[in-house]
A and B are shown apart, each in its own frame.
Chain A
Amino acid sequence: MRAVKSQQRIVITGMGIVCPLGNDVPTLWQAILAGKNGAGRTTIFDASTFPTTFSAEVKGYDFRRYTRFGHLHEACSRGSGFALGAAAQACAQAGIEIETDAPADGIDRTRMGIYLGAGEGSLDNDAFFACMIAGWDGEKHEMVWPNATRRALTKMVAARELEQEPNMAAAHVAMLTGARGPARSCLTACAASTQAVGEAMMLIRRGDADIMIAGGAHSMIHPLGVTGFNRLTALSTRNESPETASRPFSASRDGFVLGEGAAIVIVESLACAQRRGVPVLAELIGYGSSSDAFRVTDMHEEGRGAVQAIRAALADAGLTCDDIDYINTHGTSTQENDLIETLAIKTVFGPRAKQIPAGSVKSMLGHLIGAAGAAELITCVLAIRDGIVPATTNLHDPDPKLDLDYVPNSPRKMPVTIVMNESFGFGGQNNVVIVKQYEG
Chain B
Amino acid sequence: MDSRRVVITGLGAVSPLGLSVQETWEGLREGRCGIGRIKAFDPTGFPCELAGEVPYYRIQDHVPRTYRKAVKLMCRDIELAVVAADEAVRSSGLITKGIDPEKVNVDPTRFAINLGTGIISCDLTELGPAAVVSVTDGQFDIHKWGKDGLEHVTPLWLLKYLPNMLACHIGIIHDLQGPSNTITCAEAAAHLAIGEAAQVIARGASDLALAGGAEAKVNPIMMIRQCLLKRTTPDSNDSPQTACRPFDADAQGSVFGEGAGIVVLENVNNARRRSAPILAEILGIGHSHNLNPAYECLEPDGKGVQIAIEKAMADAEIGPEDLDLIVPHGTGIPSDDLAEARALQAALGTAIENIPVWPTKSMLSTTGAASGALDVIAAVRVMNEGVIPAARNFVRPAHGCHLHIVTRPQERQVRHALCCSYTYGGQTAAIVLRRFDESAVA
The distance from the CB of A185 to the nearest CB of chain B, in whole angstroms, is: 5
What is the bound-complex CA distance between A128 and B153, given in angstroms?
A: 16
1/0 contact string of A296-334 vs chain B (CB within 8 Å): 110000001100100010000000000000000000000
| B41 on the A face (CB < 8 A) | yes
B143–A49 CB distance below 8 A? yes
| Number of A-B residue pairs with CB-CB distance less than 8 Å in the complex they form | 315
Task: Name which of A5, A138, A166, A224 has the most chain B CB atoms within 10 A of its CB.
Answer: A166
1/0 contact string of A202-240 vs chain B (CB within 8 Å): 110110100000000000000110011111110000000
Which residue of A has the minimal Cβ distance to B222?
Answer: A161
| B316 on the A face (CB < 8 A) | yes
Residues of chain A within 8 A (CB-CB) of B221 are 128, 152
A145–B140 CB distance below 8 A? no
1/0 contact string of A135-160 vs chain B (CB within 8 Å): 11010011111101110110011100
| B371 on the A face (CB < 8 A) | no
| B92 on the A face (CB < 8 A) | no
Residues of chain A within 8 A (CB-CB) of B147 are 49
What is the bound-complex CA distance between A185 and B127, given in angstroms?
A: 28
Q: Which of B23-31, B43-51, B331-339, B403-411 binds A?
A: B43-51
A429–B228 CB distance below 8 A? no
A180–B171 CB distance below 8 A? no
Which residue of B has the minimal Cβ distance to A123?
Answer: B122
1/0 contact string of B310-345 vs chain A (CB within 8 Å): 010001110000000000000000000000000000
B304–A180 CB distance below 8 A? yes
The distance from the CB of B125 to the nearest CB of chain A, in whole angstroms, is: 5
What is the bound-complex CA distance between A232 and B159, given in angstroms?
A: 9
Q: Which of A89-113 contact B (CB under 8 A)?
A: 110, 113
A141–B143 CB distance below 8 A? no
A293–B199 CB distance below 8 A? no
Residues of chain B within 8 A (CB-CB) of A167 are 184-186, 423, 425-427
The distance from the CB of A286 to the nearest CB of chain B, in whole angstroms, is: 12
Q: Which of B234-242, B277-285, B358-366 binds A?
A: B277-285
| B395 on the A face (CB < 8 A) | no
What is the bound-complex CA distance between A107 and B202, given in angstroms?
A: 27
| B346 on the A face (CB < 8 A) | no
Residues of chain B within 8 A (CB-CB) of A295 are 172
What is the bound-complex CA distance between A293 and B220, given in angstroms?
A: 32
| B367 on the A face (CB < 8 A) | no
| B109 on the A face (CB < 8 A) | yes
Residues of chain B within 8 A (CB-CB) of A260 are none
Which residue of A has the minimal Cβ distance to B117?
Answer: A187
A49–B146 CB distance below 8 A? yes
The distance from the CB of B437 to the nearest CB of chain A, in whole angstroms, is: 14
Which residue of B has the minimal Cβ distance to A114?
Answer: B289
Residues of chain A within 8 A (CB-CB) of B177 are 290-293, 304-305, 308
| A48 on the B face (CB < 8 A) | yes
Q: Which of A377-425 contact B (CB under 8 A)?
A: 425
| B227 on the A face (CB < 8 A) | yes
Which residue of A has the minimal Cβ distance to B138?
Answer: A133
| B356 on the A face (CB < 8 A) | no
Q: Which of A45, A141, A150 contacts B129 (CB 8 A)?
A: A141
What is the bound-complex CA distance between A118 and B127, given in angstroms?
A: 25
Number of contacting residues on A, CB 8 A? 99
| B181 on the A face (CB < 8 A) | yes
| A171 on the B face (CB < 8 A) | yes
Residues of chain A within 8 A (CB-CB) of B164 are 187-189, 425-427, 429
| B373 on the A face (CB < 8 A) | no
The distance from the CB of B79 to the nearest CB of chain A, in whole angstroms, is: 14
Assuming the contacts A184-B192, A223-B145, A296-B169, asked whether A143 and B289 have C-beta atoms less than 8 A apart, the reply is: no
B171–A149 CB distance below 8 A? no
Assuming the contacts A162-B225, A165-B119, A293-B177, asked whether A46 and B142 have C-beta atoms less than 8 A apart, the reply is: yes
Task: Name which of A132, A167, A179, A181 has the most chain B CB atoms within 10 A of its CB.
Answer: A167
| A31 on the B face (CB < 8 A) | no
Assuming the contacts A231-B150, A296-B73, A427-B162, asked whether A174 and B289 have C-beta atoms less than 8 A apart, the reply is: yes
A312–B289 CB distance below 8 A? no
What is the bound-complex CA distance between A162 and B119, given in angstroms?
A: 11
| B17 on the A face (CB < 8 A) | no
Residues of chain B within 8 A (CB-CB) of A49 are 142-147
1/0 contact string of B1-30 vs chain A (CB within 8 Å): 010111000000000000000000000000
Q: Which of B142-190 contact A (CB under 8 A)?
A: 142-147, 150, 153-159, 161-165, 167-169, 171-172, 174-186
| A435 on the B face (CB < 8 A) | no
| B75 on the A face (CB < 8 A) | no
What is the bound-complex CA distance between A289 and B167, given in angstroms?
A: 14
What is the bound-complex CA distance between A52 and B186, given in angstroms?
A: 32
The distance from the CB of A287 to the nearest CB of chain B, in whole angstroms, is: 9
The distance from the CB of B235 to the nearest CB of chain A, in whole angstroms, is: 16
The distance from the CB of B35 to the nearest CB of chain A, in whole angstroms, is: 19
Assuming the contacts A149-B46, A162-B296, A426-B159, asked whether A289 and B205 have C-beta atoms less than 8 A apart, the reply is: yes
A171–B295 CB distance below 8 A? yes
| 15 additional A-B residue pairs with CB within 8 Å, beyond A161-B225, A186-B182, A426-B159 | A48-B146, A132-B124, A143-B220, A146-B45, A149-B220, A149-B224, A158-B228, A166-B119, A181-B288, A187-B163, A202-B199, A293-B177, A308-B109, A425-B164, A429-B182
> Which 3 A-B pairs have CB atoms at the shortest separation, nearest pair first?
A228-B158, A49-B146, A3-B4
Residues of A within 8 A of B (CB): 1-3, 5, 45-51, 72, 110, 113-114, 118, 120, 125-126, 128-133, 135-136, 138, 141-146, 148-150, 152-153, 156-158, 161-162, 164-168, 170-171, 174-175, 178-189, 195, 199, 202-203, 205-206, 208, 223-224, 227-233, 289-297, 304-305, 308, 312, 425-429
Can you list 11 A-B pairs, Cβ within 8 angstroms, ordered by A?
Answer: A48-B143, A48-B146, A110-B307, A141-B129, A145-B42, A149-B220, A162-B295, A170-B426, A291-B168, A296-B73, A426-B162
